[in-house]
Structure 1
């Protein structure tokens, strides 16, 4: 079980690294002047590659978490409300990941209407999600 936990932590940390950086690319894309086609294309390539890589990291992160939950009964029974809250955080993280994909497609189509400041705030969400997940797993407040 320790191997499963170790790999789960590695894939979670890697997935979140992508979720921390992808919106930074959006900040830069939102700031590109219309005449800077090469810069825009370079950032779009970076965004596409990071989105693909981040998605590939999310799959084993979620799969290993499910293995721990179902296979070993972690978080079941009385006094395990923390696990239900953590699963909600996981759902929010998957939703955030999905929204990142939608935003990237908008940039690809040239349809972004949000300013770079909005993306700076959007970039803070995965920090809060990771903080919530870690506190729930380590502290188990309920």
Structure 2
């Protein structure tokens, strides 16, 4: 099996990068939608309905599959012999960043459900501040992989 994974390595890496880009785009955009949803609509109005559709489709059609693909291709890369040096620190800081991104993804899903039920209590400013979480996680992950400290 290791020889098979080594042969597929460039493909798995390419698919991993594409899925990460898709996932990150959603992680950046959904909180921004929440800002506009909070500031430009009230529960039950026509804008509320439009925002809910946009948020639902972004989360379910783009972000969820991208997150699953990112995890799948990432696990395949980790299983490929010679890719990860487990004696270094960088794999563990990258894993921490991945867990933060995954937590944030699920946190966003819970916030969407609050909008659906008309129970959002957060302000646009609070959603703007949370929009920085994926940026911080991305910095940790990229520096971990590229600098390999």
TM-score by length of 2: 0.89
User: Which residue pairs with 1:13 in the alignment?
Assistant: 21
- Partner-residue secondary structure (3-state), 2:102: helix
Using the alignment, how far apart are the partners of 1:35 and 1:94 within structure 2? 28
- Of 43, 48, 63, the residue aligned with 1:40 is 48
- Partner-residue secondary structure (3-state), 1:56: helix
Deviations 1:87-137 (A, max 9, x none): 111111110000000000001001111110000001111111111111100
Using the alignment, how far apart are the partners of 2:118 and 2:36 within structure 1? 14
Contact 2:38 2:123 in 1 (8 A): yes
**After TM superposition, which residue ranges in structure 1, 4 or more long, deviate above 3 angstroms?**
none
Using the alignment, how far apart are the partners of 2:93 and 2:121 within structure 1? 34
Unaligned runs of 5+ in 2: 1-8
User: Which residue pairs with 1:108 in the alignment?
Assistant: 116
- Of 105, 125, 132, the residue aligned with 1:97 is 105
- Partner-residue secondary structure (3-state), 2:42: coil
Question: Is 1:67–2:76 an aligned residue pair?
Answer: yes
Using the alignment, how far apart are the partners of 1:112 and 1:84 within structure 2? 35
User: Which residue pairs with 2:145 in the alignment?
Assistant: 137
CA RMSD of superposed structures (Å): 1.4
Using the alignment, how far apart are the partners of 2:44 and 2:117 within structure 1? 16
Contact 1:75 1:82 in 2 (8 A): no
Residue correspondences, number:
140
Using the alignment, how far apart are the partners of 1:115 and 1:77 within structure 2? 42
